Structure 1
Amino acid sequence: MIKILKKYKAKATFFQLGNLAAEYPELVKEIHDMGSEVANHSWDHDSLDRKSVDGAYMDMKKASEAIEKACGCRITLMRPPYGATDKGVDKATKKLGLAQILWDVDTLDWESHDPYDIKSKVLHSAAKNRIVLMHDIHQTTIDAQEDIIEGLQDKGYTLVTVSEMLGKTTPGKRYPKSWAHYGN
């Protein structure tokens, strides 16, 4: 994924699991150094809404520490695993200084494993300021990337990080606004 983004001079936000950031810090650093963004995706993909506020806080704190150590940067965003969030996660993210990032377009790449289907979902759902969810752990998602990026660039889109798109975010708040009431 990194090679493809570099080839097309595109950026993305990589929501990292803390345990993997601790295991592969050189990848986290490379992502950050190429101008893409790294952010928190919990320590090991537990559903944070099933934890106490303190449990969710400790999970995300541990993940942020590992990611920040790897990239040498400050983490301000997190994506809750499964999009599972609630008022407790809101409190924990606010305390940690993290805004919650959800998505506008779910490619369901983890389910379909079909590059054509993934590409089709992205290109048909593309619109200004949309957040597209994909998982770079699947080869089929990687296989779809060049066609996706070329297709989006042909339509005049520029691929940027979530922070570049949203600007200043508020810790504890959920973005995009269409998800503002999820899990309450």
Structure 2
Amino acid sequence: MSGAPEAGAQAKVDCAKVKCIALTFDDGPGEQTPALLDVLKKEKVKATFFLMGKHVEEFPAIARRTAAEGHAVGNHTYGHQSLTSSNDSEILDELRVTQTIIEETTGRRVTMFRPPYGHTDERVLRLAGEQGLAQVMWTGTTLDWKLRDAKRIKAAVLRLAGRDGVILMHDVVPQTVKAMPSIVKELKKRGYHLVTVPTLLGGRRLEAGVSYP
């Protein structure tokens, strides 16, 4: 809700004092997302989901559940087009329409976005900032959409894992969801607290027009 504290913030975890990592999932919600949410709920960990507007329209109940269970949600545009090759009005449409769909579906006004394919520049960042959005990139990508193999996806996460890391995955890749129970268990064994991006950043409000991490 717009007047609530930063959505997805986990106040009881202080990442300045403990080893944190943020698992992030793009392109959902999708048919695989409920199984992923089940794993996160069972393990009592939070993640960050960058939602596509057209998929929120297709799976509204899953989007509502994602937000209701305390995960952070962000804008991943409506149709996943490259923003750097779009004109200003197309960029604004992709962001604004998705903002409205997510807010009307989940009751949550999102404050962060992730550009499809990681395609961004100063113009994209400026236009997003005008919409009250901070940009969230990543410190490592699993390339799970290409690997399509649970063991290799798990190995990629563990190779990329580091304190304050932001790991990019996709909840629409079945093998990623399949790998998640063992990924979470191994990260916990290594001493990581699995948190949302806002929690990783100290629970502070992300600044519009600024790129993180």
* 1:170 is aligned to 2:212: no
User: Per the alignment, in what secondary structure is the counterpart of residue 49 of structure 1?
Assistant: coil
Q: Does 1:17 align with 2:52?
A: yes
- Distance in 2 (CA, whole Å) between partners of 1:120 and 1:132 is 13
TM-score calculated relative to the size of structure 2: 0.80
Q: 1:106 aligns with which of 112, 137, 141?
A: 141
State yes or no: 1:139 paired with 2:166.
Answer: no
Following superposition, which runs of at least 4 residues in structure 1 exceed 2 angstroms of deviation? none
Point out where structure 2 has 5 or more consecutive residues left out of the alignment. Answer: 1-35
Q: What residue in structure 2 maps to residue 87 of structure 1?
A: 122
Q: Deviations over 1:53-105 (max 9, x none)?
A: 22211110001110111110110010100000012211111111001111111
Do the aligned partners of 1:93 and 1:171 also contact (CA within 8 Å) in 2?
yes
Q: Distance in 2 between matches of 1:91 and 1:58?
A: 14
Structure (1/2) with the larger strand percentage: 2
RMSD of aligned Cα (Å): 0.9
Aligned counterpart in structure 2 of residue 26 of structure 1, from 54, 57, 61: 61
Are 2:32 and 1:3 aligned? no
Percent identity between the aligned chains?
37
Equivalent in the alignment of 1:158: 193
Q: Does 1:35 align with 2:35?
A: no
* Higher RCO (C-alpha 8 Å, min separation 6): 2
Mapped partners of 2:123, 2:57: distance in 1: 26
Name the count of aligned residue pairs. 176
Return the TM-score normalized by structure 1: 0.93
Which residue identity is paired with 1:21? Answer: V
